[in-house]
Amino acid sequence: MDLLQIKNMNEDTNSNYSDYGVYSIEDSLELLLPDTIIKIKKIGKNVFSYTRKDAEDNILEKTIPVSSSELTIELAPIRPLNYPARRTDYLYLDLDTPIFLSSGASAVVLVNCPIEIGVFIIHGGNKDSLDWFTCNHVDSRFCLYGNPESGTLCNYSQSKIVESIDSSTPFRNAVIEITLKNELSRGITVSKLVFPISEHSIYYKNSKAIVDSLNGTFKKKLTLEISDVDAVAIQTDWTKSPTYERIENVKHIDLGVD
């Protein structure tokens, strides 16, 4: 099937996309994702080939020798930190509708959060990263929070407020619950959220994904107004994604209130 056909076919419906999850391959497997096709085929005794093709006809091929006659892989959402390159742990969510919080108020909102896709090989209880990619090349960009001398480089994403945790777009984004609390003596408008996404785990079910929650408190520290953000692990029966990238300790920054 041609990618252009797939793209046109899926413009109105997402029903033809593959799901996240674990796949056992004895002979061949074809996974269909937005603008991307993954093909895994047995090419010899205990040898498989892996091919990924995107909408711009970029092809990635790998040969996978395995110890048994079967290959088990996991297709899972991963943190959006690798495209175009791994440069930062921070994510900048630019809310399309700013949230107003009056003094002392708090709010819980669900917003979209970008993801990338990871392919992992499962063997003997271990999960090894085979490949990663994004199904959203055009929107995966960097931005700067702060000034050019001392600001923080972030992965940028425009984010919509959604109604439920099932409102993610398959393979393009996930949903994150954000609890905002305003402890300042004045009302504030929140139009962007900047936080280290490397502290958040991602969970999936079918083709939907959710991210660990985020608590954001706007408060006064000495004379400065800052926003204090923390990751909060969620309790869910969704499957937790393996970790693609090496986790490093992230230096926390105090985010200013504009």
Partner 1 sequence: MLTKLVFEFLQSLSDIEIVGGLTLLSLLIGGIIMGVGVIIARTARLLFTKYYAPTLPQDSAKNFGKLIYFGIIILSFLVFTSTTGVDFSGLLVAGGIFGIVIGFATQSVVSNLISGIFLMIEKPVKQGDKIEIPGSDVSGTLLDISTFSVRIRKFDGTIIRIPNESFFTSNIRSLSSTPVRRSEAMVGIAYKEDIDAAISVLEKAIRNSLPFVLILPKPEFRINELADSSINIEILVWHPRDDWDQVGPKLLKVAKNAFDAAGIEIPFPQRVVWKSQE
Calpha distance 228→166 (Å, rounded)? 27
Q: Which of 142, 206, 239, 242 binds partner 1 (CB under 8 A)?
A: 142
Query: Which residue bears the tokens 């994702």?
Result: 33
Check if the beta carbon of residue 59 is closer than 8 Å to that of residue 128: no
Residue type, position 185, single letter: S
Q: How far is the CB of 144 from partner 1 (least distance, A)?
A: 5
Q: How far is the CB of 114 from partner 1 (least distance, A)?
A: 13
Q: Which of 12, 13, 126, 138 binds partner 1 (CB under 8 A)?
A: 138
108 DSSP β-pair partners: 179
Q: How far is the CB of 142 from partner 1 (least distance, A)?
A: 5
Chain centre distance of CA 169: 11
Q: How far is the CB of 150 from partner 1 (least distance, A)?
A: 8
Q: Per the structure block, which two tokens stand in for 41?
A: 């085929």
Give yes or no for a cis peptide into 84 (omega within 30° of 0): yes
> Which among 39-47, 64-72, 101-109, 142-150 is the span making contact with partner 1, rule CB under 8 A?
142-150
The residue among 82 and 241 lying less far from partner 1, judged by its C-beta, is: 82
| Residues 151-190, interacting with partner 1 (CB under 8 A) | 151-153, 156
Calpha distance 70→41 (Å, rounded)? 11
For position 149 contacting partner 1 by CB under 8 A, the verdict is yes
Give the H or E element holding residue 3: helix 3-9
81 DSSP β-pair partners: none
The residue among 184 and 197 lying less far from partner 1, judged by its C-beta, is: 197
| Residues 98-137, interacting with partner 1 (CB under 8 A) | 137
For position 140 contacting partner 1 by CB under 8 A, the verdict is yes
The residue among 1 and 144 lying less far from partner 1, judged by its C-beta, is: 144
Q: How far is the CB of 55 from partner 1 (least distance, A)?
A: 12
| Residues 63-92, interacting with partner 1 (CB under 8 A) | 83-85, 87, 92
Query: Which residue bears the tokens 């923080």?
Result: 152
Task: Compute how many residues bind partner 1; rule: CB under 8 A.
Answer: 20
Q: How far is the CB of 83 from partner 1 (least distance, A)?
A: 7
The residue among 142 and 238 lying less far from partner 1, judged by its C-beta, is: 142
Q: Per the structure block, which two tokens stand in for 76?
A: 């899972």
Residues 6+ apart with CB under 8 A from 226: 218, 219, 220, 254, 255, 256, 257
Annotate 200-221 with DSSP letters as a single string. --EEEETTEEEEEEEEEEEEEE
The residue among 150 and 223 lying less far from partner 1, judged by its C-beta, is: 150
Q: Which of 7, 62, 123, 141 binds partner 1 (CB under 8 A)?
A: 141
- Taking alpha carbons only, the member of 257, 101, 77, 81 closest to residue 178 is 101
Calpha distance 31→36 (Å, rounded)? 8
Site residues (CB under 8 A) for partner 1?
83-85, 87, 92, 137-138, 140-145, 148-153, 156
